[in-house]
Amino acid sequence: MSNADDFDRVDQVQAESDAILIGGNTLRSDNPRLLVNSDERRAARVAAGKPEYPLKATITASGDLDRNLKFWHFGDKKVVYTTDAGALKLGDTLHGLADVVSTGDTVDFGVMLEDLATRGVNRLMVEGGGQIHTQFLSLGLADEIHLAVAPLLLGEAGAPRFAYPAEFPGGSTHRMKLLGAETVGDVVLLRYAPKEVSA
């Protein structure tokens, strides 16, 4: 739903990140490889003493993830955050492909972020989908939002959403601080700081 220039911008953000996080639903529906595509950006990561690819992480409460998804077979290290029940399913399924980390009876985002920090992750790119975005925003965990507005109208009831209903910090009166706005071809990129208040 974007354009080539914006996809290249996203590739740059991925290259600058220590890890990329995607939700299990998006993983199952889109089956992405989730890689830094640019040879130059990967080479720059290596020259800076980093792995060629950022760590790839996913979240699944159910543990229903197929071993054949592309996500597991491209890039470098992978980690899955799940529940106790999900870990029982995934232990054998993903043996040799990813670290499986249980955060208890539910997926605990605080425990997940603490574990990512122990893995050297200082900058996490949350790729999506909507349920993961909603959790990060409602829990006050997001430092910056990149919102790309494309000239398309999606009217289907099942169309993906950026975020779902939730109680967000500050409620409907909290105006996020706008960090920047720029055009990327026919797309407008808006950058917001959700923890800061608009002046």
The CATH number of whichever domain residue 74 belongs to comes to 3.40.430.10
**Cβ proximity of 40 and 63 under 8 Å:** no
Helix (H) or strand (E) run with residue 179 in it: strand 176-184
Query: Domain of 40?
Result: 4-197
Number of domains in the chain: 1
Residues in contact with 196: Cβ distance below 8 Å, sequence separation at least 6, in sequence order: 176, 177
Residues in contact with 101: Cβ distance below 8 Å, sequence separation at least 6, in sequence order: 79, 80, 81, 82, 87, 112, 115
**Cβ proximity of 162 and 146 under 8 Å:** no
Between CA 118 and CA 57 the distance in angstroms is 14
**Cβ proximity of 133 and 163 under 8 Å:** yes
Residues in contact with 187: Cβ distance below 8 Å, sequence separation at least 6, in sequence order: 2, 3, 5, 6, 148, 149, 150, 151
In the prediction, which pLDDT does 86 show?
97
Looking at the predicted structure, is the pLDDT value of residue 111 above 90? yes
Between CA 36 and CA 24 the distance in angstroms is 20
In the prediction, which pLDDT does 10 show?
96
**What's the pLDDT band for 197 if we cut at 50, 70, 90?**
confident
pTM for the predicted model, two decimal places: 0.94
Average pLDDT over residues 19-36: 96
